Amino acid sequence: MKILMVCLGNICRSPLAHGILGAMAKAKGLNWTVESAGTSNWHVGHAPDSRSVRAAKKLGYDISSQRGRHFIAAFFDEYDHILVMDRSNYRAIISLATDHQQKAKVELFLADDEVEDPYYDDLLFDPVAQQIEKRCAQLIDKFSK
């Protein structure tokens, strides 16, 4: 199973989801690959935002070795599930899909809600990380059925 987490910059939200779900899957002995990418190319090659690294560390996860990547259309074939953080990410990714099969792989990470972009508000990083951790535990159940 290959899961891709997507946000705008691939330095705040999706690295948290990538690191947390990856660690949870590994701890459960699941043979999953969890990775991430951004709909923008602004932070390609960059480490995650230091505020996300810190928030992850508080919860027991090390995301510091991740590096930013830009979403490319080839990822539709590479991944089984593409989980996006907000509706703007959803529109950006869906606009690149060429058929129903590709579109069907794209879902909101929270199913029916958005993970707020914390980039301009330092106080959002801890609650966003907690929200992501909670949802990752649900995703372990959802995708291991």
Q: Mind telling me the catalytic residues?
A: 7, 13, 117
d(CA 134, CA 113) in angstroms, rounded, equals: 14
Q: Which is nearer to ligand 4NP, 9 or 24 (CB)?
A: 9
Rounded to a whole number of angstroms, the minimum distance from the CB of residue 12 to ligand 4NP is: 3
Rounded to a whole number of angstroms, the minimum distance from the CB of residue 42 to ligand 4NP is: 5
Rounded to a whole number of angstroms, the minimum distance from the CB of residue 33 to ligand 4NP is: 20
How many CB atoms within 10 Å of residue 119? 17
Helix segments in the chain, DSSP class H: 13-27, 50-59, 75-78, 87-94, 100-103, 125-143
Q: Which residues bind ligand 4NP (CB under 6 A)?
A: 7-13, 42, 117, 119
d(CA 124, CA 116) in angstroms, rounded, equals: 8
Residue nearest to ligand 4NP (CB): 9
Q: Which is nearer to ligand 4NP, 7 or 23 (CB)?
A: 7
